[in-house]
């Protein structure tokens, strides 16, 4: 199986590339390295003893994509490449629509020209918006996400549906991730955010390693079990294996055409304070934190109904919250600056 992984040098992409190699796939990574470092791919190669065909390029560059598809016999595309900072997407929305929506259209066009029809897309729980009750289930109507970033995910899902309606060969899978955290158990690859982390776990990890003074807990007056927001955190290796499961599902269903969406989550809501306690237990040290005002756009609580993926993909998130914390810490303490030298 020859798999093209766009954005494969990034956080989720690099862990997925590792899983794909372990499942005997040939992997081509296409990434512009805007938010990643080639070191992730080198480490994946070291960990697996297998090589990755890396091409530095941008999904909006159709001529480069065309030569890639002409020169390689690609069976399946796993499409991670996107900008992903929710707050930033409100400041530079056009860059997000350009990169995430236009980039996906370029990729789908070139795939169609080369008769490649298997497409696995990185979607997000954010597509359920504010309107839906929890837990989120795939049969719900998509909502209105609170950010341009979220809107790009809804738009690409719509583009996939329209592509399927017009192309009887198209085989799309939309994987709606909840909150991926953690790192490969080796501590060799993990999340390496540029600048100040936007997400909870990388921030906590940087506080613990002494790079940041203290964590700000964004609000403790939500209508939740302890007043802080609840999310469905899942281990990034479980998520990576979800992509292999989706690919295998496509293989097991040769007659399938259309688009199918799957939630990838654990099905459990975990609060910010529970994350703080679990991380403290993993590191055996207290985390300095203060409670600060709510962050605009945060929903109080959401988690997945993951039964569809459990049953149909034969996939389940199995790693525990404590493993997520321990693996995050193994990665962060061994690589305090991520993949950057200093």
List active site positions.
149
Query: Closest distance between ligand WQD and the C-beta of residue 228, in Å?
Result: 7
DSSP summary character for residue 286? P
- Return the range that interacts with ligand NAD (CB under 6 A); candidates 44-52, 77-85, 245-253, 284-292: 77-85
8 Å CB contact between 250 and 172: no
The residue among 156, 171, 205 whose CA lies nearest residue 326 is 205
Tell whether the torsion through CA atoms of 123, 126, 131 and 134 is positive or negative. Answer: positive
Report the distance separating Cα 158 and Cα 116, nearest Å. Answer: 19
Residue from 19, 89, 104, 122 binding ligand NAD (CB under 6 A)? 122
Choice between 121 and 279, CB closer to ligand NAD = 121
Choice between 146 and 257, CB closer to ligand NAD = 146
Residue from 19, 36, 124, 305 binding ligand WQD (CB under 6 A)? 124
- Residues 156-215 touching ligand NAD, rule: CB under 6 A, are 177, 179-180
For residue 265, state whether it binds ligand NAD (rule: CB under 6 A): no
Site string for ligand WQD, 208-247 (x = CB under 6 A): -------xxxx----------x-x----------------
- Residues 175-214 touching ligand WQD, rule: CB under 6 A, are 179, 198-200, 203
Report angle CA 295, 301, 305 to the nearest 5 degrees: 140
3-state secondary structure of 136: strand
Partner from ligand NAD, ligand WQD, none binding residue 136, C-beta < 5-8 Å depending on class = none
- Return the range that interacts with ligand NAD (CB under 6 A); candidates 57-65, 132-140, 158-166, 256-264: 57-65
Choice between 193 and 258, CB closer to ligand WQD = 193
Partner from ligand NAD, ligand WQD, none binding residue 272, C-beta < 5-8 Å depending on class = ligand WQD
Query: Closest distance between ligand WQD and the C-beta of residue 135, in Å?
Result: 15
Partner from ligand NAD, ligand WQD, none binding residue 243, C-beta < 5-8 Å depending on class = none
Report angle CA 126, 57, 89 to the nearest 5 degrees: 30
Query: Closest distance between ligand NAD and the C-beta of residue 284, in Å?
Result: 27
DSSP summary character for residue 300? S
For residue 86, state whether it binds ligand WQD (rule: CB under 6 A): yes
Site string for ligand NAD, 10-49 (x = CB under 6 A): xxxx-----------------xxxxxx-------------
Report the distance separating Cα 209 and Cα 216, nearest Å. Answer: 16
Report the distance separating Cα 175 and Cα 123, nearest Å. Answer: 5
Report the distance separating Cα 61 and Cα 227, nearest Å. Answer: 46
Exposure string for 290-326, b = 16+ CB within 10 A, e = fewer: eeeeeeeeebbbbbbbbebbeeebebbbebebebbbb
Query: Closest distance between ligand NAD and the C-beta of residue 31, in Å?
Result: 4
8 Å CB contact between 188 and 132: no
8 Å CB contact between 117 and 168: no
Q: DSSP string of 204-254?
A: HHHHHTTSSS-EEEE-S-SSSSSSS-EE-EEEHHHHHHHHHHHHHHHHH-T
Query: Closest distance between ligand NAD and the C-beta of residue 138, in Å?
Result: 15
Residues that bind ligand WQD (CB under 6 A): 84, 86, 124, 126, 150, 179, 198-200, 203, 215-218, 229, 231, 272, 295, 298
Residues that bind ligand NAD (CB under 6 A): 6-7, 9-13, 31-36, 58-60, 80-84, 99, 103, 122, 124, 177, 179-180
């Amino acid at each position: 199986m020859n798999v093209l992984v766009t954005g494969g040098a990034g956080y989720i992409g690099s862990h997925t590339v590792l899983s794909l190699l372990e499942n005997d796939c040939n992997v081509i990574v296409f990434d512009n390295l805007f938010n990643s470092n080639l070191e992730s791919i080198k480490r994946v190669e070291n960990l697996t003893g297998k090589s990755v065909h890396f091409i530095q390029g941008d999904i909006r560059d159709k001529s480069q994509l065309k030569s890639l598809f002409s020169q390689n016999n690609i069976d399946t595309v796993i499409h991670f490449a996107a900008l992903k900072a929710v707050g930033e997407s409100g400041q530079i929305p056009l860059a997000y629509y350009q990169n995430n929506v236009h980039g996906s259209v370029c990729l789908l066009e070139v795939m169609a020209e080369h008769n490649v029809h298997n497409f696995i897309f990185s979607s997000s729980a954010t597509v359920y918006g504010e309107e839906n009750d929890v837990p989120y289930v795939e049969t719900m109507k998509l909502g209105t996400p609170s950010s341009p970033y979220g809107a790009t995910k809804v738009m690409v899902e719509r583009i996939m549906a329209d592509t399927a309606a017009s192309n009887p060969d198209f085989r799309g899978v939309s994987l709606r991730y909840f909150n991926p955290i953690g790192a490969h158990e080796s501590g060799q690859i993990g999340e390496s955010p540029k600048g100040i982390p936007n997400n909870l776990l990388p921030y906590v990890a940087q506080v613990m390693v002494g790079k940041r003074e203290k964590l700000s807990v964004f609000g403790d007056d939500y209508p939740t079990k302890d007043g802080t927001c609840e999310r469905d955190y899942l281990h990034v290796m479980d998520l990576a294996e979800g992509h292999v499961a989706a690919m295998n599902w496509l293989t097991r269903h040769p007659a399938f055409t259309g688009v199918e969406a799957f939630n990838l989550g654990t099905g459990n809501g975990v609060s910010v304070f529970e994350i703080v306690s679990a991380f403290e237990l993993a590191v055996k040290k207290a985390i300095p934190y203060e409670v600060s005002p709510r962050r605009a756009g945060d929903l109080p609580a959401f988690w997945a109904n993951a039964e569809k993926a459990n049953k149909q993909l034969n996939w389940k998130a199995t790693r525990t919250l404590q493993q997520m914390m321990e693996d995050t810490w193994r990665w962060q303490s061994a690589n305090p600056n991520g993949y950057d030298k200093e």
